[in-house]
Structure 1
Amino acid sequence: MPSDHPPAPAYTATPGSILHPNKPLYDSIAQANRTLTTSFTLPIRSGRAWTVPAGHILRISTPEGPQVGDLNLWNLHNPRERFWAARTRQLHASHVSTYDRLWSTLPYLRPMVTIIRDSLGPAYGVDKWNGRVHDLLGTRCDPYVNKMLSGDSYDYHCHSNLVRAVLPYGLTEFDVHDVLNVFQVTGLDAQGRYFMEACPAQEGDAIEFFAEMDLLCALSTCPGGDLSVWGWGEGGEGEEGEGEKKGKSMLEVCRPLKVEVFRVEDEGVLEGWVRPEVPAYRGAHGMAVPEGEKQG
């Protein structure tokens, strides 16, 4: 029979665990003097890739107001190690914020970045529909599902934007993976169905990540813009809903995102930081007993 008490989280950790980063250390990093090394504004409905050295800070912001972005991460030196949205969701939550970490795929399983500042998530909290910001429940929009649902071909979905972005780095469509939807509000309804809400970001909202390893990053400015209007296809004529203007297209609610990379300048602030290592599992996945565990 179901318990009268809510179930405990499946993944918990004691203080000092790698799941719980050293908050004073990351607070110091967030507050340290920094020097800008990379800066660009990503136009609407486009994608771009760039590198971030370990020990640097990555900042993504909304310079002109609400806009959703789809973020991918890879180990710069080994693209087989890439962001794992599902495990991150299990280890932390369906939506991430300050002190949460984005984890890499097996067999590496280590933090790729740690979130050190978030102006939007804590302020937004949980809305009346149980929606939260910085989504790990869903994934990128793509031309395949668009073709399936609408019959139309459109080349600037987030998946396609990310594919174009990584080609100069020797990666292909097969390297593009499930994303962190930054600034996106989502949740599950009473029937367990995925929903999206309009992005609540204001001009200048930002999320900052500390790079735990050398990274290749790619970001797409979603063709749905702030998601206040949503539909499939290039025109994207959304249905009228609460707070929406009938007939308004998705293009009208698209805005750029700004990307900045900073080098930490304060001497000593990184002394307590250690690059995460791969878990020391040295087994062979039971290959010596391929039929399964011995019984008895």
Structure 2
Amino acid sequence: MTVSSDTVPASHGRGYQMKAGQVAVITNLYGNQVVDTWALGVADAGEFTSMDHTRSVNSSIYFEKGMAVVSNRRRPMMTLIDDSASLRHDTLLCPCNAELYQQLGCDGYHRSCSDNFHEALSEKAEDLPFTPASLNLFMNVPVHADGSLERHAPASKAGDFVALRAEMDLVLVLSACPQDITVINGDDRTPQDVTIRFVTDYPEVSA
């Protein structure tokens, strides 16, 4: 059953506590929204999702159904147990930050996934002195044999979802990426809301 639900507003971030075994269903309402994703251990915030160790453990640069996100201590933190669109989610690109938007020509302040990460943690009375690499759900980044990569609009459609099962007690942090200059969030370059539901008995619950 659904324990709780929430909306992550476009260009903003949210943090949520999860118990081991609980499932987070993240729905891409409009189909075009990338969701930068992190987790930190409740027992020790110094344990957090690590993309380099995740790639090593899964022997893949992509994140797909059945794979686990592991921590900097190489312990499973979350497993992707369902994916309505069967996507290859990105583990390579960095979470956007202020300097990235300055280089893209923005004047003044522009929201970023890095800021969203720290804002969400501060609301939980936690923080890290740096921004870890993010798991980029729904981000479409093809990689070619020569090592080059491209940035495409998400391949997901409105209503597509992923389901992440917590493998330990953790704080889940999501950022509805504020990118509105490149096509990362779709050809119309417009960030959108996403929803999240926390459920038990996941296979018996319609997503």
TM-score (norm 2): 0.87
- Please tell me the residue identity of whatever aligns with 1:97: E
| From 171, 190, 194, the counterpart of 1:257 | 194
**Alignment map for 1:67-216 (pairs within 5 Å):** 67-92=33-58, 93-106=60-73, 109-121=74-86, 133-150=88-105, 152-172=107-127, 174-189=129-144, 191-216=146-171
Cα deviation 1:225-247 (Å, max 9, x = unaligned)? 695378xxxxxxxxxxxx95xxx
Q: Which runs of 5+ in 2 are unaligned?
A: none
Residue 43 and residue 104 in structure 1: after superposition, are their counterparts in 2 closer, same or farther (change >3 A)? same
- SS in structure 2 at match of 1:114: strand
Shift of 1:72: 0.8
Provide Cα deviations, 1:201-254, integer angstroms capped at 9, x if missing partner: 111101111111001011111112695378xxxxxxxxxxxx95xxx6x3xx22
Shift of 1:191: 4.8
Matches within 5 A, 1:18-97: 35-92=1-58, 93-97=60-64
Would the alpha carbon gap of residues 182 and 220 (structure 1) be closer, same or farther in structure 2, given more than 3 Å must change? same
What's the offset of the Cα at 1:170? 2.4
CA offset digits 1:140-183 (Å, max 9, x no partner) = 11112323453634341111111111102222352531111000
Q: Which runs of 5+ in 1 are unaligned?
A: 1-34, 123-132, 231-242, 267-296
Kindly tell me the number of residue pairs found equivalent between the two proteins: 202
Distance 2:108 2:118 in 1: 16
In structure 2, distance between residues paired with 1:261 and 1:216: 13
Q: Distance in 2 between matches of 1:164 and 1:201?
A: 27
Structure with more relative contact order (C-alpha pairs < 8 Å, separation 6 or more): 2
- In structure 1, distance between residues paired with 2:180 and 2:196: 17
2:89 is aligned with what amino acid?
A: H
Q: Measure how far apart 1:121 and its partner are.
A: 2.5
Tell me the SS of whatever aligns to 2:15. Answer: strand
Aligned partner of residue 16 in structure 2, secondary structure: strand
Contact 1:66 1:226 in 2 (8 A): no
Contact 2:79–2:167, Cα closer than 8 Å, also in 1: yes
TM-score by length of 1: 0.62
- Give, in whole Å, the separation in 2 of the partners of 1:60 and 1:225: 21
